[in-house]
Structure 1
Amino acid sequence: MASPELTSDCSRCFGLCCVLLPFSAASGFGVDKPSGTPCLHLLTDDRCGIHDTLRQDGWPGCTVFECFGAGQQVSQVTYGGVSWREQDNLGEMAAVLSVMRQLHEMLVHLGEAERRSPDPATGPVRKEIEILTTAEPEPLLHVDVDDLHERVGDLLAAASDRVRRRWPAAADRTRADLAGRHLLGDLRGWTFRGAVLIAADLRGADLDDVDLLGADLRDADVRGCDLSSALFLTQPQVNAARGDATTTLPSRLSRPGHW
Structure 2
Amino acid sequence: MIYQGVLKKMMTENGDTIQYYLDMGVDFLNMNQLLNKEFTISFVKYECLNCHLDKQIYRQGFCKSCFYETPNAGDWIMRPELSKAHLDIEDRDLAYEKQVQLQPHIVYLANSSNVKVGVTRKQQVPTRWIDQGAHEAIEIVEVPNRYLAGITEVALKEHVADKTNWRKMLKNDVEDENLVEWRDKLKQYIPAEALEYYIENNAETNLNFPVAKYPEKPKSLNLIKTPTYQGKLVGVKGQYLIFDDETVFNVRANEGLVVSIEV
TM-score under structure 2 length normalisation = 0.31
Higher RCO, 1 or 2 (CA under 8 Å, sep at least 6)?
Answer: 2
Tell me which protein shows more helix as a share of its residues: 1
TM-score under structure 1 length normalisation = 0.31
